[in-house]
Amino acid sequence: MKKSLLFALAAVAMLGACNTADKTNKPGEATASDATEVRTVECVASGDVVYVHLDSVLNMSKLYVTEGTALQNKVKIFQEKAATTQQSWAKKEQDLANEYNKLQNEAVKLQQDYEKGLITTLNAQKKGEELAQKEQSIQSRLNTLQTAAQKESEELAKEEQTLAEEQMVVMNRFNVLVEKAIKEINADKRYKMIIDGMTVIDADPALNISSLLLKKVDELYEAGTLE
């Protein structure tokens, strides 16, 4: 599942007083480029531009643990099913190809034996008819296989589309929670701008409010905000 979200949530704010605290990092231990961490930040000085690691918030959110994980399992099962189905088609096609090549070799040998006078015309004709029937059978089975493969392929495509839609729904639900959480967190306009950490090259870890966002997102989710 693609979980990279590009948010640029900005809010012009009035300056005010606020204390900061980073409970998980010491100076020099981390940089803003570490998109896997969600630090505990109680508050950031008013007027600062702060950032969040949205991927981390998503992965650790109760929404994702509850809905996203189950969906990921469904996707994994589907991928295994699709791979097994494709391998089965390939094997059956290869078996028919091998059978056809063997038949062609028999036809070549029959022609050579006939030209050498090693088989009568009557027996050659009889053998030729048998080979023709076998060839027709191979072609018929190949057509049946291709029809079945096409039908299964269409069913897999529909299943894949359904999973893609379910993934989109989870991401849309997460987006709604993030937007609501940001509005509540910045209701007093203490932050001039809140950006996604993916766009940050370097910054003071104290400006990372991912844990604050995660807490609010989970609160909104448990409160049934999306229902």
Does 158 lie in the same domain as 122?
Answer: yes
**Residue 3: inside a domain, yes or no?**
no
Question: pLDDT by residue (tens digit) across 133-172?
Answer: 999 999 999 999 999 999 999 999 999 999 999 999 999 9
Does 127 lie in the same domain as 87?
Answer: yes
Does 107 lie in the same domain as 46?
Answer: no
The label of the residue with tokens 């807490």 reads: 215
The label of the residue with tokens 């531009």 reads: 49
Does 146 lie in the same domain as 100?
Answer: yes
Q: Return the pLDDT at 48.
A: 83
Q: How many CB atoms lie within 10 A of CB 46?
A: 16
Does 57 lie in the same domain as 128?
Answer: no
Count of structural domains within the chain: 2
Question: pLDDT by residue (tens digit) across 16-26?
Answer: 333 333 343 43
Secondary structure class of 22 (helix, strand, coil)? strand
State which residues of the chain have pLDDT below 50.
1-37, 39-42, 45
Q: Is the pTM of this model over 0.75?
A: no
**Residue 227: inside a domain, yes or no?**
no
State the residue range of the domain holding 198. Answer: 8-62+174-222
Does 187 lie in the same domain as 125?
Answer: no
Q: Return the pLDDT at 199.
A: 83
